[in-house]
Amino acid sequence: MVEVISQTRYRFHNGVWSQEPAEVVREAPITLWVNGREIATIIATPNDIEELICGFLAMEGIIAQRNQITIFQYHEDDQQVWVRIPKVNEERLLHFARPTLSGCCGRGRPSLYFANDQDLTPINGDLTPHLSPATVATLFSRLNRVTQQQHSGGLHAAGLGSQDGALQVARMDVGRHNALDKVYGWSLIHQHDIRSLVVVFSGRLSSEVLIKVARMGIGIVISNAAPTSLGIELATMLGITTVGFVRNHELSVYSYPERIQS
């Protein structure tokens, strides 16, 4: 469950001011240490920490499996995470010069051809399902039901859905990138092969989001928001179907539309 904090707010409604309690999402800086080296400070919702860190490390190409981490320690009092990875890819670690990852948009990337992403390959289209528009709508409706359980607002959500419309897992965070990392971390911890699943996402389909989807090996991402031009370009290069503006009886497909069939 996402942690919320009670906060007084002053509300103006119908011409009248009132003072009332409100719930706000807790946001905290979580500092990650790998083999004694400070790697990053992630601004995130401090829940599902192991999933967040495992997903982040996998997305950055530092690990491929959860069992590569031999020690995992989360110190909640000072929001420090210490992990030990005996056979870590040192070249990957060199890309980190103590960056701070914002809760909104994640780590900035300098150009179209990203240093950390040269190993990306197109996803295995044979494992990618075909969905009907009705199934797309069902998946997003189920993600919405999860997010509506939180009344504080201010959260992004990501989930993994199957071809039959079932939502396998959903995670929320103040950062849309963090939410994706959490669901990927969940799959690594539980050793689930997710390549035949679908990413369901409440956020803009930017280039960084498409890179994360590709790293997960998933061929379809659906969202209620818009894609960016670079997001569509990468999706086309990487074999990913992008579905945006999912709402009511409407959706838009920007790449590989043959996978969304009536």
**What are the catalytic residues?**
105
> Under 8 Å CB-to-CB from 247, ≥6 apart: which residues?
140, 224
With tokens 């980190």, the residue in question is 96
Q: Report the alpha-carbon distance of residue 256 to residue 260 in Å, rounded.
A: 8
Whether residue 144 contacts residue 161, with contact meaning beta carbons closer than 8 Å, is answered with no
CA dihedral 190, 193, 196, 198 (to 10 degrees): 40
Instruction: Choose among 51, 97, 58, 101: nearest CA to 72.
Output: 51
Q: Report the alpha-carbon distance of residue 123 to residue 195 in Å, rounded.
A: 9
3 state SS of 96:
coil
Phi and psi at residue 172, in whole multiples of 5°? -125, 155
Q: Report the alpha-carbon distance of residue 147 to residue 144 in Å, rounded.
A: 5
Q: Report the alpha-carbon distance of residue 220 to residue 213 in Å, rounded.
A: 8
